[in-house]
Chains A and B, each alone.
Chain A
Amino acid sequence: MDCRVAIAQTNPRLGDLQANLADHLDRIERALHEGADLVVFPELSLTGYFLKDQVLEVALSLDAAPMARLVEASKRVSLAVGFVERASSGRIYNSLAFLEDGRVLGVHRKVHLVSYGIFDESRDFAAGERFEIIESRLGRFGPLICEDVWHAPSAYVHFLNDADALIVASASPARGVEAPGPGLASQRTWDVLLTSTALLYRTWVVYSARVGWEDGVGFGGSSTVLDARGNRVARLEGLETGMLTARLDGADLKRARFETPLRRDEKPWVLASELARILPDLRVLFDGAPDREESLRR
Protein backbone atom coordinates (compact mmCIF):
# COMPACT_ATOMS: atom_id res chain seq x y z
CA MET A 1 0.00 0.00 0.00
CA ASP A 2 1.19 3.45 -0.91
CA CYS A 3 -1.13 6.33 -1.64
CA ARG A 4 -1.81 10.02 -1.32
CA VAL A 5 -4.67 10.83 1.03
CA ALA A 6 -6.53 14.15 1.16
CA ILE A 7 -8.61 15.19 4.15
CA ALA A 8 -11.40 17.63 3.39
CA GLN A 9 -11.99 19.63 6.58
CA THR A 10 -15.47 20.95 5.93
CA ASN A 11 -18.19 23.00 7.55
CA PRO A 12 -21.44 21.31 6.45
CA ARG A 13 -24.63 23.32 6.27
CA LEU A 14 -27.05 21.70 8.69
CA GLY A 15 -29.59 19.58 6.83
CA ASP A 16 -28.77 21.04 3.40
CA LEU A 17 -27.92 17.99 1.29
CA GLN A 18 -27.68 19.88 -2.00
CA ALA A 19 -25.28 22.53 -0.70
CA ASN A 20 -23.13 19.91 1.01
CA LEU A 21 -23.07 17.66 -2.03
CA ALA A 22 -21.92 20.60 -4.18
CA ASP A 23 -19.22 21.36 -1.61
CA HIS A 24 -18.09 17.70 -1.66
CA LEU A 25 -17.82 17.66 -5.44
CA ASP A 26 -15.90 20.93 -5.39
CA ARG A 27 -13.42 19.65 -2.81
CA ILE A 28 -13.03 16.37 -4.69
CA GLU A 29 -11.93 18.37 -7.75
CA ARG A 30 -9.42 20.29 -5.66
CA ALA A 31 -8.09 17.06 -4.11
CA LEU A 32 -7.65 15.60 -7.60
CA HIS A 33 -5.59 18.65 -8.50
CA GLU A 34 -3.34 17.85 -5.58
CA GLY A 35 -2.89 14.30 -6.78
CA ALA A 36 -5.02 12.58 -4.16
CA ASP A 37 -5.91 8.89 -4.48
CA LEU A 38 -8.36 9.04 -1.59
CA VAL A 39 -10.44 11.91 -0.16
CA VAL A 40 -11.73 11.54 3.40
CA PHE A 41 -14.61 13.68 4.67
CA PRO A 42 -15.69 14.16 8.32
CA GLU A 43 -18.52 12.46 10.20
CA LEU A 44 -21.96 13.31 8.76
CA SER A 45 -20.26 15.48 6.16
CA LEU A 46 -23.29 15.43 3.85
CA THR A 47 -25.74 16.59 6.49
CA GLY A 48 -24.19 18.36 9.49
CA TYR A 49 -24.22 16.99 13.01
CA PHE A 50 -26.96 18.12 15.44
CA LEU A 51 -29.78 16.95 13.19
CA LYS A 52 -32.28 15.79 15.81
CA ASP A 53 -35.64 15.45 14.01
CA GLN A 54 -33.94 16.28 10.71
CA VAL A 55 -32.42 12.77 10.52
CA LEU A 56 -35.64 11.54 9.00
CA GLU A 57 -35.51 14.20 6.30
CA VAL A 58 -31.87 13.76 5.29
CA ALA A 59 -31.53 9.96 5.54
CA LEU A 60 -30.34 8.43 2.27
CA SER A 61 -30.36 4.93 0.93
CA LEU A 62 -27.17 3.95 -0.86
CA ASP A 63 -28.85 4.36 -4.27
CA ALA A 64 -30.29 7.82 -3.55
CA ALA A 65 -29.41 10.59 -6.01
CA PRO A 66 -26.75 12.41 -3.91
CA MET A 67 -24.98 9.12 -3.22
CA ALA A 68 -25.13 8.27 -6.92
CA ARG A 69 -23.32 11.53 -7.73
CA LEU A 70 -20.56 10.66 -5.29
CA VAL A 71 -20.35 7.07 -6.52
CA GLU A 72 -19.88 8.51 -10.00
CA ALA A 73 -17.11 10.80 -8.70
CA SER A 74 -15.41 7.78 -7.14
CA LYS A 75 -14.47 6.59 -10.63
CA ARG A 76 -11.72 9.21 -10.47
CA VAL A 77 -10.73 9.07 -6.80
CA SER A 78 -11.63 6.90 -3.80
CA LEU A 79 -13.92 8.58 -1.27
CA ALA A 80 -14.94 8.24 2.37
CA VAL A 81 -18.11 10.26 3.00
CA GLY A 82 -20.18 10.75 6.14
CA PHE A 83 -23.96 10.51 5.75
CA VAL A 84 -27.22 9.51 7.40
CA GLU A 85 -27.98 6.04 6.08
CA ARG A 86 -31.47 4.69 5.68
CA ALA A 87 -31.06 0.92 5.67
CA SER A 88 -33.42 -1.40 3.85
CA SER A 89 -34.75 -2.37 7.29
CA GLY A 90 -35.84 1.27 7.68
CA ARG A 91 -33.34 1.85 10.46
CA ILE A 92 -31.28 5.03 10.36
CA TYR A 93 -27.53 4.94 10.96
CA ASN A 94 -24.69 7.42 11.36
CA SER A 95 -22.53 5.99 8.57
CA LEU A 96 -19.35 6.40 6.59
CA ALA A 97 -19.50 5.20 2.99
CA PHE A 98 -16.36 4.11 1.20
CA LEU A 99 -16.73 4.62 -2.55
CA GLU A 100 -14.30 3.49 -5.23
CA ASP A 101 -14.26 2.77 -8.95
CA GLY A 102 -17.88 3.77 -9.31
CA ARG A 103 -19.26 1.51 -6.61
CA VAL A 104 -19.92 1.31 -2.89
CA LEU A 105 -17.05 -0.69 -1.47
CA GLY A 106 -18.36 -0.69 2.08
CA VAL A 107 -20.30 1.21 4.71
CA HIS A 108 -19.29 1.57 8.35
CA ARG A 109 -22.19 2.19 10.71
CA LYS A 110 -21.11 3.96 13.90
CA VAL A 111 -21.12 1.34 16.63
CA HIS A 112 -20.51 3.56 19.64
CA LEU A 113 -23.18 6.23 19.46
CA VAL A 114 -22.60 9.02 21.97
CA SER A 115 -25.40 9.82 24.39
CA TYR A 116 -24.04 11.84 27.27
CA GLY A 117 -23.28 15.49 27.89
CA ILE A 118 -24.39 17.46 24.84
CA PHE A 119 -24.82 14.29 22.76
CA ASP A 120 -28.02 12.38 22.10
CA GLU A 121 -27.17 10.09 19.21
CA SER A 122 -28.87 6.96 20.55
CA ARG A 123 -32.14 8.78 20.29
CA ASP A 124 -31.71 9.49 16.60
CA PHE A 125 -29.68 6.58 15.26
CA ALA A 126 -29.52 2.81 15.37
CA ALA A 127 -26.09 1.49 16.33
CA GLY A 128 -23.89 -0.52 13.98
CA GLU A 129 -22.58 -3.87 15.12
CA ARG A 130 -19.55 -4.50 12.95
CA PHE A 131 -16.06 -3.29 12.28
CA GLU A 132 -15.48 -4.39 8.74
CA ILE A 133 -12.33 -3.72 6.84
CA ILE A 134 -12.51 -1.91 3.50
CA GLU A 135 -10.49 -3.75 0.90
CA SER A 136 -9.61 -0.87 -1.35
CA ARG A 137 -7.31 -1.07 -4.35
CA LEU A 138 -5.19 1.39 -2.34
CA GLY A 139 -4.89 -0.80 0.74
CA ARG A 140 -6.81 -2.15 3.72
CA PHE A 141 -8.69 0.61 5.52
CA GLY A 142 -10.32 0.39 8.93
CA PRO A 143 -13.15 2.93 9.08
CA LEU A 144 -14.20 4.36 12.45
CA ILE A 145 -16.53 7.19 13.40
CA CYS A 146 -15.56 9.54 16.24
CA GLU A 147 -16.64 7.85 19.51
CA ASP A 148 -15.74 4.42 18.07
CA VAL A 149 -12.10 5.31 18.74
CA TRP A 150 -12.79 5.82 22.45
CA HIS A 151 -13.61 2.13 22.75
CA ALA A 152 -10.31 0.30 22.42
CA PRO A 153 -11.76 -2.85 20.80
CA SER A 154 -12.91 -0.87 17.73
CA ALA A 155 -9.42 -0.19 16.43
CA TYR A 156 -8.29 -3.54 17.84
CA VAL A 157 -10.63 -5.40 15.50
CA HIS A 158 -9.19 -3.53 12.53
CA PHE A 159 -5.70 -4.29 13.85
CA LEU A 160 -6.46 -8.01 13.99
CA ASN A 161 -7.76 -7.66 10.47
CA ASP A 162 -4.43 -6.21 9.29
CA ALA A 163 -5.65 -2.72 8.48
CA ASP A 164 -2.98 -0.52 6.93
CA ALA A 165 -4.69 2.68 7.99
CA LEU A 166 -7.52 3.69 10.27
CA ILE A 167 -9.89 6.21 8.70
CA VAL A 168 -11.40 8.22 11.55
CA ALA A 169 -14.24 10.55 10.58
CA SER A 170 -15.23 12.92 13.35
CA ALA A 171 -17.41 15.84 14.42
CA SER A 172 -15.92 16.72 17.76
CA PRO A 173 -17.22 19.75 19.69
CA ALA A 174 -14.48 22.18 20.71
CA ARG A 175 -14.34 22.59 24.47
CA GLY A 176 -12.00 23.34 27.34
CA VAL A 177 -10.31 26.76 27.10
CA GLU A 178 -8.64 26.79 30.53
CA ALA A 179 -5.05 27.95 30.94
CA PRO A 180 -2.32 27.01 30.42
CA GLY A 181 -3.45 24.88 27.48
CA PRO A 182 -2.06 25.17 24.95
CA GLY A 183 -5.15 25.03 22.77
CA LEU A 184 -8.44 23.29 23.33
CA ALA A 185 -8.54 20.58 26.00
CA SER A 186 -10.75 18.52 23.68
CA GLN A 187 -8.10 18.62 20.98
CA ARG A 188 -5.27 17.70 23.35
CA THR A 189 -7.31 14.67 24.39
CA TRP A 190 -7.88 13.66 20.77
CA ASP A 191 -4.18 13.99 20.05
CA VAL A 192 -3.29 11.63 22.89
CA LEU A 193 -6.01 9.20 21.87
CA LEU A 194 -5.04 9.12 18.19
CA THR A 195 -1.32 8.95 18.89
CA SER A 196 -1.88 6.05 21.30
CA THR A 197 -4.03 4.30 18.73
CA ALA A 198 -1.35 4.65 16.06
CA LEU A 199 1.28 3.36 18.48
CA LEU A 200 -0.71 0.46 19.90
CA TYR A 201 -1.81 -0.83 16.53
CA ARG A 202 1.15 0.24 14.40
CA THR A 203 -1.10 1.78 11.85
CA TRP A 204 -1.57 5.06 10.05
CA VAL A 205 -4.34 7.18 11.42
CA VAL A 206 -6.22 9.51 9.09
CA TYR A 207 -8.34 11.79 11.28
CA SER A 208 -10.84 13.89 9.38
CA ALA A 209 -12.60 16.47 11.54
CA ARG A 210 -15.09 19.21 10.81
CA VAL A 211 -15.24 22.87 11.80
CA GLY A 212 -18.03 25.44 12.11
CA TRP A 213 -20.82 26.14 14.58
CA GLU A 214 -24.27 24.65 15.16
CA ASP A 215 -26.38 26.60 17.66
CA GLY A 216 -23.39 27.77 19.64
CA VAL A 217 -21.47 24.50 19.61
CA GLY A 218 -18.21 24.84 17.70
CA PHE A 219 -16.37 21.94 16.10
CA GLY A 220 -12.63 21.73 16.68
CA GLY A 221 -11.17 20.71 13.32
CA SER A 222 -7.45 19.89 13.58
CA SER A 223 -7.59 17.12 11.00
CA THR A 224 -4.41 15.08 11.31
CA VAL A 225 -2.45 12.28 9.69
CA LEU A 226 -0.25 10.13 11.95
CA ASP A 227 2.21 7.51 10.80
CA ALA A 228 2.53 4.03 12.29
CA ARG A 229 5.07 5.28 14.83
CA GLY A 230 2.63 7.86 16.12
CA ASN A 231 4.43 10.78 14.46
CA ARG A 232 2.34 13.62 13.18
CA VAL A 233 2.78 13.69 9.42
CA ALA A 234 0.33 16.46 8.59
CA ARG A 235 -2.12 18.68 10.41
CA LEU A 236 -4.65 21.44 9.71
CA GLU A 237 -4.48 23.94 12.59
CA GLY A 238 -7.24 26.35 13.43
CA LEU A 239 -10.98 26.59 13.04
CA GLU A 240 -11.12 27.05 9.28
CA THR A 241 -12.14 24.73 6.49
CA GLY A 242 -9.32 23.43 4.35
CA MET A 243 -7.57 20.56 2.65
CA LEU A 244 -4.73 18.46 3.95
CA THR A 245 -2.77 15.97 1.90
CA ALA A 246 -0.23 13.41 2.99
CA ARG A 247 1.48 10.39 1.53
CA LEU A 248 0.84 7.08 3.22
CA ASP A 249 4.24 5.52 2.63
CA GLY A 250 3.98 1.75 2.25
CA ALA A 251 7.69 1.00 2.63
CA ASP A 252 7.78 2.94 5.89
CA LEU A 253 4.76 1.05 7.22
CA LYS A 254 6.55 -2.24 6.57
CA ARG A 255 9.66 -1.02 8.36
CA ALA A 256 7.67 0.23 11.35
CA ARG A 257 5.93 -3.11 11.67
CA PHE A 258 9.16 -5.04 11.32
CA GLU A 259 10.78 -2.95 14.04
CA THR A 260 7.86 -3.42 16.40
CA PRO A 261 5.88 -6.48 15.33
CA LEU A 262 2.91 -5.96 17.62
CA ARG A 263 0.44 -7.67 15.32
CA ARG A 264 2.69 -10.72 14.90
CA ASP A 265 3.01 -11.04 18.66
CA GLU A 266 -0.61 -10.33 19.50
CA LYS A 267 -2.49 -13.21 21.16
CA PRO A 268 -6.14 -12.84 20.22
CA TRP A 269 -6.92 -16.31 21.58
CA VAL A 270 -5.99 -15.07 25.05
CA LEU A 271 -8.54 -12.30 24.63
CA ALA A 272 -11.12 -14.81 23.40
CA SER A 273 -10.64 -17.15 26.33
CA GLU A 274 -10.56 -14.29 28.82
CA LEU A 275 -13.77 -12.86 27.38
CA ALA A 276 -15.43 -16.24 27.70
CA ARG A 277 -14.24 -16.48 31.29
CA ILE A 278 -15.20 -12.95 32.36
CA LEU A 279 -18.46 -12.75 30.43
CA PRO A 280 -19.78 -16.30 30.19
CA ASP A 281 -23.11 -15.03 28.84
CA LEU A 282 -21.35 -13.83 25.71
CA ARG A 283 -21.05 -17.47 24.65
CA VAL A 284 -24.77 -17.53 24.11
CA LEU A 285 -24.27 -15.09 21.27
CA PHE A 286 -21.88 -17.28 19.39
CA ASP A 287 -23.85 -20.46 20.01
CA GLY A 288 -26.54 -19.30 17.64
CA ALA A 289 -28.95 -17.86 20.15
CA PRO A 290 -32.41 -17.55 18.55
CA ASP A 291 -32.86 -13.91 19.44
CA ARG A 292 -29.50 -12.27 18.99
CA GLU A 293 -30.70 -8.79 19.85
CA GLU A 294 -32.28 -9.94 23.08
CA SER A 295 -29.06 -11.50 24.28
CA LEU A 296 -27.12 -8.41 23.23
CA ARG A 297 -29.32 -6.20 25.32
CA ARG A 298 -28.92 -8.49 28.29
Chain B
Amino acid sequence: MTLDVQPELVTQLLVSFLREETEAAGMRRAVVGLSGGIDSAVVAALCARALGAENVLCALLPYRTSNPRSAADAERLGESLGVPLRRIDISPIADGYLEGSRVTDPLRRGNVLARCRMIVLYDLSVEWKGLVIGTSNKTELLLGYSTQWGDSAHALNPLGDLYKCQVYQLARHLDLPRRIIDKPPSADLYEGQTDEGELGFTYDEADRLLVLMIDKRYSLEELLAAGFSNELVRRIAGRVVRNQFKRMPPVIAKLSRRTVGHDFRYLRDWMR
Protein backbone atom coordinates (compact mmCIF):
# COMPACT_ATOMS: atom_id res chain seq x y z
CA MET B 1 0.00 0.00 0.00
CA THR B 2 1.30 3.38 -0.89
CA LEU B 3 2.20 5.83 1.83
CA ASP B 4 2.15 8.74 -0.60
CA VAL B 5 -0.29 11.50 0.27
CA GLN B 6 -1.52 14.51 -1.70
CA PRO B 7 0.48 17.16 0.17
CA GLU B 8 -1.51 20.16 -1.03
CA LEU B 9 -4.80 18.53 0.02
CA VAL B 10 -3.31 17.63 3.40
CA THR B 11 -2.06 21.18 3.81
CA GLN B 12 -5.50 22.62 3.06
CA LEU B 13 -7.17 20.26 5.51
CA LEU B 14 -4.68 20.93 8.30
CA VAL B 15 -4.78 24.70 7.83
CA SER B 16 -8.57 24.55 8.05
CA PHE B 17 -8.33 22.25 11.09
CA LEU B 18 -5.88 24.51 12.94
CA ARG B 19 -7.86 27.64 12.21
CA GLU B 20 -11.22 26.25 13.23
CA GLU B 21 -10.21 24.18 16.24
CA THR B 22 -8.12 27.05 17.64
CA GLU B 23 -11.15 29.28 17.34
CA ALA B 24 -13.32 26.59 18.92
CA ALA B 25 -11.06 26.80 21.97
CA GLY B 26 -11.73 30.53 22.08
CA MET B 27 -8.25 31.48 20.86
CA ARG B 28 -6.54 32.95 17.83
CA ARG B 29 -2.93 32.27 18.59
CA ALA B 30 -0.64 29.29 18.99
CA VAL B 31 2.47 28.23 20.86
CA VAL B 32 4.84 25.71 19.27
CA GLY B 33 8.01 24.28 20.75
CA LEU B 34 10.57 24.35 17.91
CA SER B 35 13.19 21.64 18.28
CA GLY B 36 15.02 22.12 15.02
CA GLY B 37 13.55 18.83 13.80
CA ILE B 38 11.15 18.13 11.01
CA ASP B 39 7.89 17.59 12.92
CA SER B 40 7.87 20.89 14.79
CA ALA B 41 9.08 22.69 11.66
CA VAL B 42 6.09 21.41 9.70
CA VAL B 43 3.71 22.30 12.53
CA ALA B 44 5.11 25.83 12.81
CA ALA B 45 4.79 26.33 9.04
CA LEU B 46 1.18 25.06 9.08
CA CYS B 47 0.30 27.26 12.06
CA ALA B 48 1.80 30.29 10.33
CA ARG B 49 -0.39 29.63 7.31
CA ALA B 50 -3.49 29.02 9.40
CA LEU B 51 -3.21 31.80 11.97
CA GLY B 52 -0.74 34.25 10.49
CA ALA B 53 2.98 34.07 11.35
CA GLU B 54 2.71 36.91 13.84
CA ASN B 55 0.28 34.83 15.93
CA VAL B 56 2.51 31.78 16.30
CA LEU B 57 4.93 32.01 19.18
CA CYS B 58 7.78 29.57 18.65
CA ALA B 59 9.75 28.58 21.70
CA LEU B 60 13.33 27.32 21.58
CA LEU B 61 13.87 25.32 24.72
CA PRO B 62 17.46 24.04 24.81
CA TYR B 63 19.10 22.20 27.70
CA ARG B 64 22.81 22.67 28.36
CA THR B 65 23.69 19.37 26.68
CA SER B 66 21.45 19.90 23.66
CA ASN B 67 23.16 19.89 20.30
CA PRO B 68 23.67 23.60 19.50
CA ARG B 69 22.77 22.86 15.90
CA SER B 70 19.19 22.06 16.99
CA ALA B 71 18.48 25.56 18.33
CA ALA B 72 20.40 27.15 15.47
CA ASP B 73 18.27 25.31 12.89
CA ALA B 74 15.12 26.16 14.79
CA GLU B 75 16.08 29.81 14.99
CA ARG B 76 16.82 30.02 11.28
CA LEU B 77 13.51 28.35 10.45
CA GLY B 78 11.62 30.71 12.77
CA GLU B 79 13.23 33.69 11.07
CA SER B 80 12.34 32.44 7.62
CA LEU B 81 8.73 31.85 8.68
CA GLY B 82 8.57 35.28 10.28
CA VAL B 83 7.23 33.97 13.58
CA PRO B 84 8.05 35.53 16.96
CA LEU B 85 10.78 33.49 18.69
CA ARG B 86 11.50 33.04 22.37
CA ARG B 87 14.59 31.28 23.60
CA ILE B 88 14.38 29.85 27.10
CA ASP B 89 17.18 27.74 28.52
CA ILE B 90 15.54 24.97 30.55
CA SER B 91 18.83 23.96 32.24
CA PRO B 92 18.15 25.75 35.56
CA ILE B 93 14.65 24.27 35.86
CA ALA B 94 15.74 20.78 34.89
CA ASP B 95 18.98 20.74 36.85
CA GLY B 96 17.25 22.00 39.97
CA TYR B 97 15.73 18.55 40.10
CA LEU B 98 18.10 16.35 38.06
CA GLU B 99 21.27 17.45 39.79
CA GLY B 100 19.69 17.90 43.21
CA SER B 101 18.33 14.35 43.09
CA ARG B 102 21.31 12.92 41.16
CA VAL B 103 19.20 11.48 38.35
CA THR B 104 21.58 9.72 35.95
CA ASP B 105 19.38 7.24 34.07
CA PRO B 106 19.19 8.72 30.52
CA LEU B 107 15.54 7.63 30.14
CA ARG B 108 14.53 9.46 33.32
CA ARG B 109 16.58 12.50 32.38
CA GLY B 110 15.03 12.58 28.93
CA ASN B 111 11.53 12.42 30.38
CA VAL B 112 12.28 15.22 32.83
CA LEU B 113 13.55 17.45 30.01
CA ALA B 114 10.42 16.76 27.93
CA ARG B 115 8.23 17.61 30.93
CA CYS B 116 10.17 20.78 31.72
CA ARG B 117 9.53 21.91 28.15
CA MET B 118 5.84 21.16 28.65
CA ILE B 119 5.78 23.36 31.77
CA VAL B 120 7.30 26.26 29.88
CA LEU B 121 5.02 25.82 26.82
CA TYR B 122 1.89 25.76 28.96
CA ASP B 123 3.01 28.83 30.86
CA LEU B 124 3.75 30.66 27.60
CA SER B 125 0.30 29.57 26.45
CA VAL B 126 -1.23 31.73 29.20
CA GLU B 127 1.08 34.67 28.60
CA TRP B 128 0.63 34.53 24.81
CA LYS B 129 -3.07 33.60 24.97
CA GLY B 130 -2.37 30.82 22.50
CA LEU B 131 -3.03 27.09 22.27
CA VAL B 132 -0.16 24.64 22.61
CA ILE B 133 0.05 22.80 19.29
CA GLY B 134 1.57 19.32 19.40
CA THR B 135 3.98 17.73 16.98
CA SER B 136 3.53 13.97 17.52
CA ASN B 137 3.13 12.09 14.25
CA LYS B 138 1.22 8.84 13.74
CA THR B 139 4.36 6.67 13.79
CA GLU B 140 5.41 8.18 17.11
CA LEU B 141 1.92 7.90 18.61
CA LEU B 142 1.60 4.25 17.62
CA LEU B 143 5.09 3.31 18.79
CA GLY B 144 4.57 5.28 22.00
CA TYR B 145 7.85 7.04 21.26
CA SER B 146 7.11 10.05 23.41
CA THR B 147 7.07 11.21 27.01
CA GLN B 148 3.66 11.06 28.63
CA TRP B 149 2.67 14.57 29.79
CA GLY B 150 5.86 15.80 28.13
CA ASP B 151 5.89 16.21 24.35
CA SER B 152 2.61 14.30 24.28
CA ALA B 153 0.88 17.16 26.13
CA HIS B 154 -0.83 19.61 23.82
CA ALA B 155 -4.28 20.91 22.84
CA LEU B 156 -4.29 20.21 19.10
CA ASN B 157 -2.31 17.79 17.03
CA PRO B 158 -2.22 18.36 13.27
CA LEU B 159 0.29 15.57 12.49
CA GLY B 160 -1.21 12.74 14.53
CA ASP B 161 -2.69 10.99 11.48
CA LEU B 162 0.45 11.26 9.32
CA TYR B 163 3.23 8.67 9.33
CA LYS B 164 6.78 9.97 9.59
CA CYS B 165 7.43 9.55 5.86
CA GLN B 166 4.26 11.53 5.16
CA VAL B 167 5.51 14.36 7.38
CA TYR B 168 8.59 14.45 5.10
CA GLN B 169 6.34 14.71 2.05
CA LEU B 170 4.56 17.63 3.67
CA ALA B 171 7.87 19.28 4.64
CA ARG B 172 9.07 19.14 1.03
CA HIS B 173 5.76 20.51 -0.19
CA LEU B 174 5.99 23.38 2.31
CA ASP B 175 9.51 24.04 1.05
CA LEU B 176 11.18 23.75 4.44
CA PRO B 177 14.96 24.08 4.60
CA ARG B 178 16.99 21.09 3.37
CA ARG B 179 19.07 21.23 6.56
CA ILE B 180 16.01 20.28 8.57
CA ILE B 181 14.67 17.71 6.11
CA ASP B 182 18.01 15.94 5.65
CA LYS B 183 19.23 15.51 9.22
CA PRO B 184 18.60 12.23 11.06
CA PRO B 185 15.57 12.45 13.39
CA SER B 186 16.61 12.83 17.03
CA ALA B 187 14.89 13.60 20.29
CA ASP B 188 18.22 15.23 21.27
CA LEU B 189 17.73 14.22 24.87
CA TYR B 190 21.33 13.04 25.16
CA GLU B 191 24.39 13.45 23.00
CA GLY B 192 24.49 11.48 19.79
CA GLN B 193 20.96 10.15 20.21
CA THR B 194 19.01 9.26 17.07
CA ASP B 195 15.43 7.98 16.99
CA GLU B 196 16.26 5.09 14.71
CA GLY B 197 19.30 4.11 16.79
CA GLU B 198 17.19 4.04 19.92
CA LEU B 199 14.18 2.28 18.37
CA GLY B 200 16.32 -0.37 16.70
CA PHE B 201 14.57 -0.10 13.34
CA THR B 202 14.12 2.60 10.73
CA TYR B 203 11.11 4.87 10.34
CA ASP B 204 10.78 3.57 6.83
CA GLU B 205 10.40 -0.01 8.11
CA ALA B 206 8.03 1.10 10.87
CA ASP B 207 5.82 3.10 8.51
CA ARG B 208 5.54 0.32 5.94
CA LEU B 209 4.60 -2.16 8.65
CA LEU B 210 2.27 0.11 10.62
CA VAL B 211 0.21 1.16 7.61
CA LEU B 212 -0.63 -2.50 7.00
CA MET B 213 -1.12 -3.35 10.66
CA ILE B 214 -3.21 -0.32 11.61
CA ASP B 215 -4.80 1.12 8.48
CA LYS B 216 -5.25 -2.21 6.69
CA ARG B 217 -5.87 -4.29 9.85
CA TYR B 218 -3.39 -7.04 8.91
CA SER B 219 -3.01 -9.79 11.49
CA LEU B 220 0.49 -10.66 12.72
CA GLU B 221 0.45 -13.74 10.46
CA GLU B 222 -0.47 -11.60 7.47
CA LEU B 223 2.36 -9.19 8.28
CA LEU B 224 4.84 -12.07 8.28
CA ALA B 225 3.39 -13.33 5.00
CA ALA B 226 3.85 -9.81 3.61
CA GLY B 227 7.59 -10.24 4.12
CA PHE B 228 8.33 -8.51 7.44
CA SER B 229 10.72 -10.30 9.78
CA ASN B 230 9.39 -11.98 12.85
CA GLU B 231 11.69 -9.82 14.95
CA LEU B 232 10.41 -6.53 13.49
CA VAL B 233 6.75 -7.53 13.73
CA ARG B 234 7.23 -8.61 17.33
CA ARG B 235 9.03 -5.42 18.34
CA ILE B 236 6.65 -3.01 16.67
CA ALA B 237 3.46 -4.82 17.66
CA GLY B 238 4.81 -5.02 21.19
CA ARG B 239 5.38 -1.28 21.34
CA VAL B 240 1.94 -0.50 19.91
CA VAL B 241 0.17 -2.58 22.53
CA ARG B 242 2.43 -1.72 25.45
CA ASN B 243 2.08 2.02 24.93
CA GLN B 244 -1.70 2.23 24.61
CA PHE B 245 -1.72 3.98 28.00
CA LYS B 246 0.11 6.95 26.50
CA ARG B 247 -2.71 7.46 24.02
CA MET B 248 -5.47 7.45 26.61
CA PRO B 249 -6.76 9.83 29.28
CA PRO B 250 -6.40 8.60 32.88
CA VAL B 251 -8.59 5.68 33.92
CA ILE B 252 -11.48 6.76 36.13
CA ALA B 253 -13.13 4.33 38.56
CA LYS B 254 -16.81 4.16 37.79
CA LEU B 255 -19.04 4.42 40.86
CA SER B 256 -22.10 6.43 39.96
CA ARG B 257 -24.57 6.13 37.11
CA ARG B 258 -22.95 8.84 35.06
CA THR B 259 -19.20 9.11 35.07
CA VAL B 260 -16.70 11.42 33.41
CA GLY B 261 -14.71 9.42 30.89
CA HIS B 262 -17.28 6.64 30.66
CA ASP B 263 -20.80 7.78 29.93
CA PHE B 264 -20.62 11.54 30.21
CA ARG B 265 -20.35 11.87 26.46
CA TYR B 266 -19.62 15.30 25.05
CA LEU B 267 -17.12 16.46 22.49
CA ARG B 268 -14.42 18.87 23.49
CA ASP B 269 -16.04 21.26 21.01
CA TRP B 270 -19.21 21.17 23.12
CA MET B 271 -21.17 24.39 22.38
CA ARG B 272 -18.24 26.03 20.58
Contact between chains at B17 and A218 (CB < 8 Å): yes
**Centre residue among B10, B20, B269, B272 by max chain A CB count within 10 A:** B269
Residue A50, interface by CB 8 Å: yes
CA gap between A13 and B23 in the complex, in Å: 12
CA gap between A178 and B269 in the complex, in Å: 27
Interface of A is mostly: loop
CB proximity to A under 8 Å, residues B11-54: 12-13, 16-17, 20-21, 24
Contact between chains at A239 and B12 (CB < 8 Å): yes
A213 neighbours in B (Cβ, 8 Å)? 16-17, 20-21, 24, 269
Q: How large is the interface on B (under 10, 10 to 19, 20 to 34, 35 or more residues)?
A: 20 to 34
Contact between chains at B9 and A52 (CB < 8 Å): no
Contact between chains at B271 and A179 (CB < 8 Å): no
Contact between chains at B6 and A216 (CB < 8 Å): no
Contact between chains at B13 and A218 (CB < 8 Å): yes
A9 → B minimal CB distance (Å): 14
CB proximity to B under 8 Å, residues A238-272: 239
B120 → A minimal CB distance (Å): 25
B267 neighbours in A (Cβ, 8 Å)? 14, 50, 52, 214-215
Give a binary string over A165-186; 1 marks a CB under 8 Å from any B CB, 0 the rest. 0000000001001111111100
CA gap between A195 and B264 in the complex, in Å: 40
Contact between chains at A15 and B270 (CB < 8 Å): yes
Contact between chains at A178 and B5 (CB < 8 Å): yes
Contact between chains at B13 and A214 (CB < 8 Å): no
B16 neighbours in A (Cβ, 8 Å)? 213, 218, 239
B271 neighbours in A (Cβ, 8 Å)? 13-16
A52 neighbours in B (Cβ, 8 Å)? 265-267
A83 → B minimal CB distance (Å): 17
CA gap between A87 and B83 in the complex, in Å: 53
Least CB separation from A215: chain B residue: B267
Contact between chains at A216 and B5 (CB < 8 Å): no
- Please tell me which one of the listed residues B5, B21, B266 contacts residue A179 in the complex, with CB atoms under 8 A apart: B5
- Name 12 extra pairs, CB < 8 A, besides A181-B9, A214-B267, A218-B13: A14-B270, A15-B270, A52-B267, A54-B270, A179-B6, A182-B6, A184-B9, A213-B16, A213-B21, A214-B269, A216-B156, A239-B12
